[in-house]
Structure 1
Amino acid sequence: MITEAEQKVYDILDSLEIKYDRYEHAAVYTIEEANKLDIHIPGQLCKNLFIRNRKGDTHYLVVLDETKQVGLKSLAKQIGSSSLSFASEERLFKYLGLKPGSVSPFGIINDNESEVIVLIDRDITNAAVVAFHPNINTVTIGISYLDFEKFIKWKKNKLFYVDID
């Protein structure tokens, strides 16, 4: 059964003429759990992290290769920010309308003021297909990387490319 939050993603993708492939699976809360699923999802699986600066007045959604770990100190230096930390569950819901385990770039649909800055690991820009949760952790969808950028630009959130080792 498709939830309202998930349908909202599909409606927007359809309106932007973005094709996607949908894969249902058991609920997963981490990339490690996703990798244990007995399902083949083509494309680059991505890890998505919701973080904030020290003051808590700037929020970032970091999209990176599933196998990478992000160093918050080096990322802060790279983007010219004060120290970074993971944002609280309350902030995640306030800005992206999401709960832990379902963090996704599609959460910016709920960012009415386009306040969240999207940081994309430059390495995933080479992927033909990228895969994300459609704001629910029991489904993963794959879209072309170019269509992913089209979606971000449509929403008008600031977008920067970063290098994550």
Structure 2
Amino acid sequence: MDKQEVYRYLNEKNIWHETVEHKAVYNMAETAEINLPHPEASAKNLFLRDDKKQNYYLITVKSDRRVDLKKFRRNNDTRRLSFTSESELKAILGLIPGAVTPLGLLNDEERKVQFFIDEYFLQQSGIIAVHPNDNTATVWLKTPDLIGIIKEHGNQVKVMKS
């Protein structure tokens, strides 16, 4: 799904969302330069794989949080982790660097990526800001709706303790 297909999907499913179009952003520092509503809902995403390229993980946390990969490995009994390559990102999620988003899981035809979301997004405002498979816009969704979309697609979803 590209950006327009994501918008169409959300509308067809009657899923509440708020969208802001903006210049392309490739990291959290560039995102901070844009005046976006709901800063408490800002998320960052890490797309990882194990050292055998057999298991893939998308981790979504509050934008100002650090992810301790050693702790993540211990808590989830994974092999050694590293970031996926640009070609893996494109092949599996149909995304480019800077546009990583949980909505990219809708392009994971093999449903091989496990999605981990920070419990923060369920506790605070209940909304989350993500890209619509393109880094020229931000979409705010209710976190339970996002989780429901991913589960309905068939990817495994786990809520991580903060």
TM-score (norm 1): 0.92
Write the mapping of 1:8-157 to structure 2, written as runs, cut at 5 A.
8-37=5-34, 39-42=35-38, 43-126=40-123, 127-157=125-155
**One-letter identity of the residue aligned with 2:127:** V
Deviation at 1:10, TM superposition (A): 1.4
RMSD: 1.3
Percent identity between matched residues is: 33
Deviation at 1:36, TM superposition (A): 1.2
Q: What is the rounded CA distance, in whole Å, between the counterparts of 1:115 and 1:31 in structure 2?
A: 26
Is the contact made by 1:52 and 1:59 (CA closer than 8 Å) also made in structure 2?
A: yes
Unaligned runs of at least 5 residues, structure 2: none
Number of matched residues? 160
Is the contact made by 1:13 and 1:151 (CA closer than 8 Å) also made in structure 2?
A: no
Deviation at 1:163, TM superposition (A): 2.6
Q: What is the rounded CA distance, in whole Å, between the counterparts of 2:114 and 2:137 in structure 1?
A: 24
**One-letter identity of the residue aligned with 2:60:** V
Is the contact made by 1:78 and 1:162 (CA closer than 8 Å) also made in structure 2?
A: no
Unaligned runs of at least 5 residues, structure 1: none
TM-score (norm 2): 0.93
